[in-house]
C-alpha cells in the first residue's frame, strides 16, 4: 500500500510518563523466564486496523529476532523494498502471510524469515509470542519472539528486502524514544494515531512500532 503522506511530517507527541525496561531485564535468561511465566498484563490497543477495507483479516506472522550481542541485545529489522504492494519502503520485522503448508503461526514466521533474509532456523530460539496485531493492510499478525545466537549468516531477498540492520533493544524499550503521531483522515473520517521510534536514519513506525510497544508493556508488567 503506497502512502499518501509522509509519516515523519505528522504532528508528534513524545511518550514520557513511563519508565524504561530495566537493563537487568534485557538478558537472555530473564527474557526466557518472562515468556515461560508471563505475568498479568494488558496489551495496548491500536486503531490502525480501522483503516483496513476488509471484512476478515488474513493470518500472518512476523519474527521478532533479538540478537545476543556481547555489547547487549539488539533487534534485527528489515527495510522493505520500495516496489512492494504492502508497507513499501517501511521498516518491518521479517515475516509474511500464513500459507496452507505452515503448521502454525511460528512456522510461518520461521519460513518467512528464511525466505526474506536467509536466516537458518537452527539459529532461532523461539521463546514466545505476543498478542495478535491487526494492520491497516488487512492482516492479523502473530509476533513470534526469538533469540539469535551469533554467528549466523544472512542474505536478503532483493525482491522483498532493501537492507537489514540492528537497533539496541535498550533504545527501543525506553519510552523516551517513543513518539505518537496523528493523522487527520479525509472527509471527516476522524483522527488516527500511531507510534514511531526513530533511530539514526531509520524511521520505525506503524505496526512495527505498535508491536514493539506491546513487547515493552509485556517486559515491564
Tally of domains in the chain: 1
Residue 12 lies in a domain: no
Does residue 18 belong to any structural domain of this protein? Answer: no
* Residue 8 domain flag: no
- Residue 7 domain flag: no
**C-alpha–C-alpha distance, residues 30 and 36, integer Å:** 10
160 pLDDT higher than 60: yes
Instruction: State the pTM of this model.
Output: 0.89
Please choose, from the candidates 166, 179, 209, the residue with its C-alpha nearest in 3D space to the C-alpha of residue 72.
Answer: 166
Name the residue range of residue 47's domain.
23-220
Q: Would 10 be classed as within a structural domain?
A: no
**Between 160 and 59, residue with greater pLDDT:** 59
Over the Cα atoms of the chain, what is R_g?
A: 17
Question: Residue 16: what pLDDT?
Answer: 66
Here the CATH number for the domain that contains residue 191 is 3.90.79.10
pLDDT class for 186, splitting at 50, 70, 90? low
For residue 43, pLDDT beyond 70: yes
Per the domain annotation, does 101 fall within a domain? yes
Cis peptide before 106 (omega within 30 of 0): no
CB 194 within 8 A of CB 181: yes
Residue at 86 is within a domain: yes
pLDDT in tens, 8-42: 666 566 676 899 999 999 999 999 999 999 999 99
Question: Kind and range of the H or E element at 113?
Answer: helix 105-117
For 200, residues 6+ apart whose C-beta sits below 8 A from its C-beta are: none
Taking alpha carbons only, the member of 158, 153, 204 closest to residue 181 is 204
Strands, E, within 43-138: which ranges? 58-69, 72-80, 91-92, 95-97, 124-129, 133-134
Does residue 60 have a pLDDT over 80?
Answer: yes
Q: Is residue 13 situated within a structural domain?
A: no
Interatomic CA distance for residues 205 and 192, integer angstroms: 13
Amino acid at each position: 500500500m503506497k502512502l499518501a503522506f509522509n509519516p515523519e511530517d505528522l504532528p508528534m507527541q513524545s511518550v514520557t510518563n513511563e519508565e524504561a525496561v530495566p537493563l537487568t531485564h534485557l538478558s537472555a535468561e530473564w527474557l526466557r523466564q518472562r515468556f515461560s511465566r508471563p505475568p498479568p498484563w494488558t496489551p495496548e490497543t491500536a486503531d490502525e486496523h480501522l483503516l483496513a477495507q476488509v471484512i476478515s483479516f488474513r493470518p500472518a506472522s512476523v519474527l521478532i529476532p533479538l540478537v545476543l550481542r556481547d555489547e547487549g541485545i539488539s533487534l534485527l529489522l528489515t527495510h522493505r523494498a520500495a516496489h512492494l504492494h504492502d508497507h513499501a519502503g517501511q521498516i518491518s520485522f521479517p515475516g509474511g502471510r500464513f500459507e496452507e503448508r505452515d503448521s502454525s503461526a511460528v512456522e510461518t514466521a520461521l519460513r518467512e524469515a528464511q525466505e526474506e533474509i536467509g536466516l537458518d532456523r537452527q539459529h532461532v530460539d523461539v521463546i514466545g509470542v505476543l498478542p495478535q496485531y491487526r494492520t491497516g493492510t488487512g492482516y492479523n499478525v502473530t509476533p513470534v519472539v526469538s533469540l539469535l545466537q551469533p554467528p549466523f549468516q544472512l542474505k536478503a531477498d532483493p525482491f522483498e528486502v532493501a537492507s537489514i540492520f540492528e537497533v539496541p533493544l535498550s533504545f527501543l524499550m525506553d519510552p523516551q524514544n517513543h513518539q505518537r503521531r496523528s493523522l487527520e483522515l479525509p472527509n471527516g473520517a476522524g483522527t488516527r494515531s500511531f507510534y514511531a521510534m526513530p533511530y539514526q536514519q531509520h524511521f520505525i513506525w506503524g505496526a512495527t512500532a505498535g508491536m514493539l510497544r506491546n513487547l515493552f508493556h509485556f517486559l515491564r508488567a
